Structure 1
């Protein structure tokens, strides 16, 4: 867990060890309480070097890891759950939703590179029950609107668990940078026309 801050006060404890009071940003009171419950901590402090602009994808995975730790689940499972709730369904070239059938016993939420949304439909073939799923686009294929929707959903879930998130104006700047990067890689000028 990383954060920024300043040393507000320096003193000496009863056992003659230095005692400091920190004012910190980017960490919530419940997170600090959980840290204190762990007892002894590894602590690292260094001179502040200024923040680089945060990439939307990197921020998503950083926040997702924090939430997965609190929920005691894996990053893959949580990513699949978030895609199921806030992601975008995949379509073929004709605009039809892509359908898959997986055995009922399959733990699709542990998949790393494929993502599915259950439809609730089950059919049986040669004695095996299969569940019908819609395929969900991987987040690396998301446009700005889709990525923004996914990050907004993750932020909502984090706030419900008292996990500190970036201020709205910082999120907005991050998504603007994502849009510029996405449009450039897609070969789109700022006017919205494709390159030749």
Structure 2
């Protein structure tokens, strides 16, 4: 699957049809895709708004807070993390699978990392099981990571753990946005 970043688009029509033209950020990627396309085959483009990946500084700060919360509450850090992942929203897939394959799917999914969780529930379809698959924070974009940090900050403040000020948090998030923007240039 090719992923090609662009910052402008237009439609153009000629005798061969209507074309979607994109102004790409990295021309080499676009050329590579065009050179590997198979003639006569149809392709599907899934276009979405680019979201910056999470900040490593923001991720490190999340884990510091998670550690303090675990120390204060006696709840294992891994459990705090997993509960935080469940509360984010927008990071799940719901699948219906044959019941005999549900455990294997769940075990394989969980091997992706600590926050990659799988929960099963009954299906209305006989012989099937519904599985909720949670993506771990390694896949989070900046918006999801921001929610994760905001939630852990609230949890810490609720038990009296000192956290960064809102301005410091905004700076932490903005610093990461700058790093991501510079990577794209």
- Unaligned runs of 5+ residues in structure 2 are 1-55
Which of 137, 140, 146 aligns to 1:139? It is 137
| 1:178–1:99 distance in 2 versus 1, CA, 3 Å | farther
CA 1:114–1:100: 2 relative to 1, 3 Å:
farther
For the structure 1 residues 64 and 124, does the alpha-carbon distance in structure 2 shift closer, same or farther, using more than 3 Å as the test?
same
Aligned residues: 123
Partner of 1:50: none
Q: Which runs of 4+ in 1 moved over 6 A?
A: 106-109
Q: How does 1:61-140 map to 2 (within 5 A)?
A: 61-90=63-92, 97=93, 99=95, 102-103=102-103, 112-116=113-117, 118=119, 121-123=121-123, 132-133=131-132, 135-140=133-138
Q: How does 1:19-98 map to 2 (within 5 A)?
A: 55-90=57-92, 97=93
Q: Secondary structure at the match of 2:66?
A: helix
- Say what the alpha-carbon RMSD is for the aligned residues: 3.6
Q: Return closer, same or farther for 1:99/1:74 CA change in 2, 3 Å cut-off.
A: farther
TM-score (norm 1): 0.50
Equivalent residues of 2:85, 2:115 under 8 A apart: no
Equivalent pair of 1:86/1:149 in contact (CA under 8 Å): yes
Cα distance in 1, alignment partners of residues 130 and 75 from structure 2? 24
Cα deviation, residue 82, structure 1:
0.2
Unmatched segments (≥5 aa) in structure 1:
1-53, 91-96, 190-196
The TM-score with structure 2 as length reference comes to 0.53
Point out which structure has higher relative CO (alpha carbons under 8 A, 6+ apart): 2
CA 1:87/1:80 → structure 2, altered by over 3 Å: closer, same or farther?
Answer: farther
Partner of 2:7: none
- Cα distance 1:139–1:183, how it changes in 2: closer, same or farther (>3 A)? farther
Q: CA deviation at 1:182?
A: 3.2
Shift of 1:183: 3.6
User: Which deviates further from its counterpart, 142-151 or 70-79?
Assistant: 70-79
Q: CA deviation at 1:160?
A: 1.2
> Aligned to 2:131, what secondary structure does the other structure show?
strand
